[in-house]
Amino acid sequence: MSKHYTVDQIVRLGPVIPVLKFDSVEEGIAVSRALYEGGVKVLEITLRTKVGIDVIREASQIADDIAVGVGTLTRPEECELAARAGATFGVSPGFSTALDQAAKAAGLPLLPGVMTPSDILAAVAAGYEIVKFFPAEQAGGTTMLGAFHGPFPSLRFCPTGGITPASAPSFLSLPNVVCVGGSWLTPRAAVAAKDWAEITRLAREASGLARAHGVS
């Protein structure tokens, strides 16, 4: 069973949080193991397919130090469901008071999504110090995050959406970015071919990316 983490601890476990979507439980377990073997200890398993909760339940048993999160939280009732399945944290594409309250009631640390200053103000008012910037590239990328640093100097971000191995270092070099989310660690071709060694290689490569200000 995975241990309990705060969001602050989770974002320090590695520079890249893979955003995962699976078509079967077997696929989910194999990919999760391959990522873990490559040094990735944080997984965001989304609820974009019907097997998401079942994969979370199985993946959370892989190791004691793995942090398996639930992604694409959009409904309050999903928080309790994911927590019961063993999710260590939750990630949402946006912020709402209902999701915030449901996550706290379920004991599920939440990384809420923001895109605008108004989103940020709502999240900060609810007590959040770390948020997800989504969709990162489409919403202005590193330029927008740089602009946010002025009015929100203490807020930390996990940008997700459209980030690639080539652009990840630029995001990670920003003083207000603690990690990035990405789907490039699990290319469709490698998953379809069951090339778990390739996924482990990509995970090892991602785990070696440097972050700003000595975050470790």
Domain locations in the chain as residue ranges: 7-214
3-state secondary structure of 110: strand
- The pLDDT score that the predictor gives to residue 92 is 98
158, containing H or E segment? strand 156-159
Average pLDDT of the chain to the nearest whole number: 95
Best CATH choice for the domain 7-214 from the list 3.20.20.70, 3.40.50.2300, 3.40.630.70, 3.40.250.10: 3.20.20.70
Q: Is 107 left (phi over 0), alpha (psi -120 to 50) or beta?
A: left
Question: Which amino acid makes up residue 172?
Answer: L
Report whether pLDDT(1) > 50: no
Residue 213 has pLDDT above 60, yes or no: no
Question: For residue range 157-179, what is the model confidence (pLDDT) as tens digits?
Answer: 999 999 999 999 999 999 999 99
What the block records as the tokens of 88 is 């260590």
Nearest Cα to Cα of residue 167 among 195, 112, 206: 206
CA–CA gap between residue 18 and residue 21 (Å, rounded): 10
pTM higher than the cut 0.85: yes
Over residues 47-60, the pLDDT tens digits come to 999 999 999 999 99
Summarize the confidence of residues 75-85 as an average pLDDT: 97
Angle subtended at Cα 60 by Cα 207 and Cα 135, rounded to the nearest 5 degrees? 55
Q: Where does the pLDDT of residue 209 fall: very low under 50, low under 70, confident under 90, or very high at 90 and above?
A: very high
DSSP string, 204-216: HHHHT---GGG--
Residue 215 pLDDT > 60: no
Closest CA to 156 of 135, 133, 189: 133
pLDDT band at 2 (very low <50, low <70, confident <90, very high): low
Bridge partners for 28 per DSSP: none
Which residues are catalytic, by number? Answer: 44, 132
Nearest alpha carbon to residue 50 among 80, 81, 76: 81
Q: How far apart are CA 8 and CA 68, in angstroms?
A: 15
